[in-house]
Amino acid sequence: MFGPVFNREALALPRRPRHYIFRAVYVLSLLILMSTSWMILAGTQVVENLGDLARFGSTFFQILAPLQLALLIFLSAFGAASAVSQEKDKRTIILLLLTRLTNKELVLGKLLASLLSPLLLVFASIPVLMSVQLFGGVSGHQVLRVVIITYAATLVAGSLGSTFALWREKTFQTLSITTLTIVLWLGLWEGLYALGSSTPILQSLANWASPVRGISAAVIPTIANHGAWTFSDPAICFTLFALLMTFLLNAIAIAKVRVWNPSREVRQQQQQEDDVDSILDKQLSEDEVQQIAEQARATHVDAMRRAGTHSEVAVESRRVWDNPVLWREICTWAYGRKIVIVRLAYLLMVTLAFLALNQALTNADNGIARTGINSIFPAAASSLAPLFLVSLVIINALAVNSITNERDGQALDLLLVTDISPAEFVFGKLWGVFYVTKEMIALPLAMAIYLLVRGGIEFEGFLFLITGLTVLTFFVTMLGIHCGLNYASSKSAISVSMGSVFFLFLGVITCIMVMISFSGSFEQQLAPFLAFILGGSVGLYVALGFRNPSSAIFWSTLLLPFATFHAITSFFIEHHLTSVMVISVIYGFTTLAMMMPAIGEFDVAMGRTKSSDD
């Protein structure tokens, strides 16, 4: 139906062991989360009647459905984007364009092939969602709405990532724009919904366009919408909107795929190669050969010509630094000139976060009470926390792509015949990532300074915030470099690196939400959560340390989830010094644990150091 690209993936996917491992681990994780929540409820409260069971089922369903939605949006968007970007990095997209594949078969084939695993995870979760219904408090209509909304959100997020990947040439640009678009989309419609209390039309628009509104309407239905399939139901509204956006995004991609690809850079390179071939075929004089060589040299990055006041003046070739890796990251457009689009989109997000922060501080100054779950978090956390998380995700995406791009371009092989030391390579990449993402580092710090000036945080808390941000920035950067060096497949490296960041924050926040929802004795809640987080530690070690085992990585991956959980709980009980000390020590140790093997393994790969087996 969708061409040979999809057909090949559909036939090959069931033959891979990881296909069954992913589904089994996903369903098992949901069941463990359910069991942990039940242990917390049964251990801290007395279950007397069916009403208590129904309240448990309803509360757990309100945690599980949004968690699954966020996870599958991430998996589908970045999975589809990295699948197409991998074809571009390896230049196999050109081979596909040379075949008799139609635009429809190419676009839909790659999209649906990359969405096979996420879509199968949606269906695999249906028995777990139905088992929640056995507790009571959840109807079959709610389960069906959640499945439909999750399925539609998975399709539209994957279509968004695929379209951006076909449009942009660099993988980092694709991942960053995809991340910012999703976050801006969710934040924009949630902001309009909050402002819609006085303007009902804004709330109606948010109900149509926001998956958060749709999933909220499904897990907490009103009497009017319960059991009724009407166009006023936000769940139905978003599903129809998502299907429409999926159609539009793929229609644009199908129409433009051969216009966007191959990119202008590839065409210019091919044109230069054709010119060289034509020159070799001709008999030219020495002066003509010299003139052609000078013209070619003038377009090179090391011999740019700039326009003077009245005439064009040649500029001497730029001097390469002692660390050429760092020089390339800073002094050239290593990740494409369209990275400016990423920076503009990020500035837009910072502007929205600043407006939300300013409004929250104003409400706090005016004594406006915060209700519901928002009363648990500080006033500034709702606007700053998403900004900090997106900044860390973008920095991590650039770090892992700084390595995978070199490997896909076969540039790592050239380092074997150079005198670049491992430390120069690793630290060149590290500081280069910091320079390219300077906006993602400086602007969150500026927001923290503004928070201090407005009185939203004390100076001691400001120092703690700056310290935590600095440590986490180094951690996510080194995590990306570590995954890029340890995984030969770009798609695997990107998935493991960014997936680890999401697990450490999204997973632990889910645990905190469970604790808040099933409140009780902290000591009795701790044991079930330690068992649950232990499984996360094992998964983190398999992802980060299995290919390059070491005792330091073993202990760091074992302690990371526990430390993150402890730091967040310490923050909630206002033990801020304990929180920042745990974050600094554990994440700093993990950063060093990944840095040392990266330098050592790179040295072995370059042939300068021999192992005991050699």
The Cα 397–Cα 522 span in angstroms is: 36
pLDDT digits (tens, 9 = 90+) for 247-261: 999 999 999 998 888
The Cα 163–Cα 65 span in angstroms is: 27
Which residues are registered as beta bridge partners of 314? 305
Q: Which of 162-176, 220-234, 442-456, 540-554 has the lowest mean pLDDT?
A: 220-234
Assess whether pLDDT exceeds 80 at residue 132: yes
CB neighbour list of residue 117: distance below 8 Å, 6 or more residues apart = 13, 19, 22, 75, 79
Query: DSSP secondary structure string, 57-100?
Result: HHHHHHHHHHHHHHHHHHHHHHHHHHHHHHHHHTTHHHHHHHSS
Query: Both ends of the chain: CA-CA distance in Å?
Result: 52
Q: How confident is the model at residue 13 (pLDDT cuts 50, 70, 90)?
A: confident
Q: What does DSSP say about strands 305-307 and 312-314: parallel, antiparallel, or unpaired?
A: antiparallel
The Cα 424–Cα 410 span in angstroms is: 19
Cβ-in-10-Å burial (0-12, 13-18, 19+) of 104 comes to middle
Name the residue among 386, 570, 357 with its Cα closest to residue 456.
357
Assess whether pLDDT exceeds 80 at residue 233: no
Report domain extents, the chain. Answer: 4-265, 267-314, 324-605
Distance of CA 137 to the CA centre of its chain: 34
Assess whether pLDDT exceeds 90 at residue 111: yes
The Cα 522–Cα 505 span in angstroms is: 20
Average pLDDT estimate for 544-558: 81
Assess whether pLDDT exceeds 80 at residue 185: yes
pLDDT digits (tens, 9 = 90+) for 304-363: 444 444 444 555 566 778 888 888 888 888 887 778 888 999 999 899 888 888 888 887
Q: Which of 1-5, 69-73, 105-109 has the lowest mean pLDDT?
A: 1-5
pLDDT digits (tens, 9 = 90+) for 80-98: 998 898 888 888 888 888 8
Which amino acid is it at 72?
A: L
* 238-to-59, 141, 288, 513, 581 alpha-carbon distances in Å: 23, 16, 65, 25, 43
